[in-house]
Structure 1
Amino acid sequence: PRLGWTEEAMIAGSKDVGVSPSIVGSFSRKEAALVEYFMDDCLQLLIDRVASGLDLQNLIPSERVSKLVRIRLEMQIPYMSKWPQALSIQAHPVNVPTSFKQRAMLVDEIWHTVGDGASDLDWYVKRTVLGGVYSTTEIYMLTDNSPEYRDTWAFLDDRVKDAFDLKKSIQEAKYFAQDIGAGVGKSFQGLMNGVMQTMSTRGGRSSAF
């Protein structure tokens, strides 16, 4: 965490595992490759956690979604001080396609685990909405100073409950698509400002996002 998502961190990591630091030169997108590896690793950890017997049976669907998103976001806590840097790397135009793909895979895995069998338009709406819930909770988490991120988890629960209102979900999916179109290609700060402004204008904690 101290070195952040940098080439220096990759060099230090190679030394820790007894590999020549020269191997870092084989990565053309060094910082991006590091973040993408972390994202893939976290997804696999989530899949393994579910496969090992994570108890979701006694939870209603919205609670299952909240629990899975929380488990995934908790994996970022040790790196929280450097996570804005990771988001900035992901928001770079060159890295956006892979970033979107990884988040789409995460969202799809969560819905699959919850037991969602939606198809056609409903399938896309649900995944778009959950992607918005995940991303805004992730950003909210960056400025949360409450004990053990208590406010973040309350924020997440509220967003998920709202997202299960289908009519609101469809409308919010349209909003989120507009936000993505406006955000791609902007700086990380601009993207964050856009999301936070969207949250504010739609009623803050009372909106689906």
Structure 2
Amino acid sequence: MTTTPKDTATQLLDAALLHVPFDGWSETTFKAAIADTETNPALARGLFPRGAVDLAAAFHRQGDDRMVAALKARNVSDLRFRDRIALAVRLRLEAVEDKEVVRRGVTLFARPTHTAEGAKLIWGTADRIWTALGDTSDDVNWYTKRATLSGVYSSTVLYWLGDDSPNHHATWEFLDRRIDDVMQIEKVKARIRKTPGLGRMMTGAESFLSRVRPPKPKRDDLPGGATLPR
């Protein structure tokens, strides 16, 4: 059987996950994964040019893939939209088998040199959720929805990492509160629209922002963007 680059990427990630709890997403972990899988170092570096950083990013995207698959397997037609979002975030966290691996990732992406990458990954998760739920916005709302959900998701992850309640019950309550907060903001915006003067100003601003369009899809077959099987 011929081993494809995708197979090799998966093997490297699986091997790395055994070392991350002890050595973090580090060069030590990357080299250990190469040794464990007996992968040609040049091939490994071609798949993950930044080493463990790209492995950590691949791990995050793998969790997104699993979340989307789990969400598609559910019948959410009877759920309120806010409950669909809550379910998606919950499924994303439940896709993780080892909290310590995520904790090490949070530490990695908190470093100044990698914060942009971390923010990009969180934005990607929010985008996958909205897309999976059928979002068709093509104006500034495309950005505001993802920005808001990115904030909800990132704060929920941090809470979840420190949660030792049974079945993470406290985390799901925290998540519900965060989504309720967002819904309150939408209610305030609706009231402003009905307020003379302020309503006209807001309508004018929204009319201007409606010209904003979401970015075009980018290629995902470039180095450092190794796609793993779902």
For 2:135, the equivalent position in structure 1 comes to 116
CA contact (8 A) 1:107 1:127 kept: yes
**Which of residues 34, 37, 46 in structure 1 aligns to 2:58?**
37
CA-atom RMSD in angstroms: 2.7
Superposed CA offset, 1:2-54 (max 9, x none): 33322333333334434256766665533312211111211222233344x32
Q: Taking CA–CA contacts closer than 8 Å with sequence separation of 6 or more, which of the two structures ends up with the larger relative contact order?
A: 2
**Structure number, greater radius of gyration:** 2
Instruction: Tell me, yes or no, if the aligned pair for 2:29 and 2:52 is still in contact at 8 Å.
Output: no
Aligned residues: 168
For 2:130, the aligned partner's letter is: W
Code of the residue aligned with 2:99 in structure 1: it is: M
Residue 69 of structure 2 is aligned with which of 36, 48, 55? 48
CA distance in 2, matches of 1:42, 1:125: 23
Unaligned runs of 5+ in 2: 1-19, 191-230
Q: 1:9 aligns with which of 21, 25, 29?
A: 29
Q: Using structure 1 for the length normalisation, give the TM-score.
A: 0.68
Could you tell me the TM-score, scaled by structure 2's length? Answer: 0.62
Whole-angstrom distance in 1 between the partners of 2:124 and 2:188: 23
Tell me if the contact between 2:56 and 2:105 (Cα under 8 Å) persists in the aligned partners.
yes
Residue equivalent to 1:197: none
**CA separation of 1:58 and 1:36: change in aligned 2, threshold 3 A:** same
Identity of aligned residues (%): 29
Among 87, 94, 117, the alignment partner of 1:67 is 87
Distance 1:97 1:138, change over 3 A: same
Residue segments in structure 1 that go unaligned for 5+ positions in a row: 171-209
The Cα offsets for residues 171-209 of structure 1, whole Å up to 9 and x where unpaired, read as: xxxxxxxxxxxxxxxxxxxxxxxxxxxxxxxxxxxxxxx
Alignment partners' CA distance in 2, 1:18 and 1:41: 22
Say which is worse superposed, 35-44 or 8-17, in terms of deviation: 8-17
- Letter in structure 1 aligned against 2:153: Y
1:61, distance to aligned residue in structure 2 (A)? 0.5
In structure 2, C-alpha distance between the alignment counterparts of 1:155 and 1:169, rounded to whole Å: 23
Matched residues in 1 for 2:28 and 2:139: separation?
Answer: 45
Which residue is equivalent to 2:111?
92
Structure 2 counterpart of 1:57: 77
Q: Which has the higher helix share?
A: 1
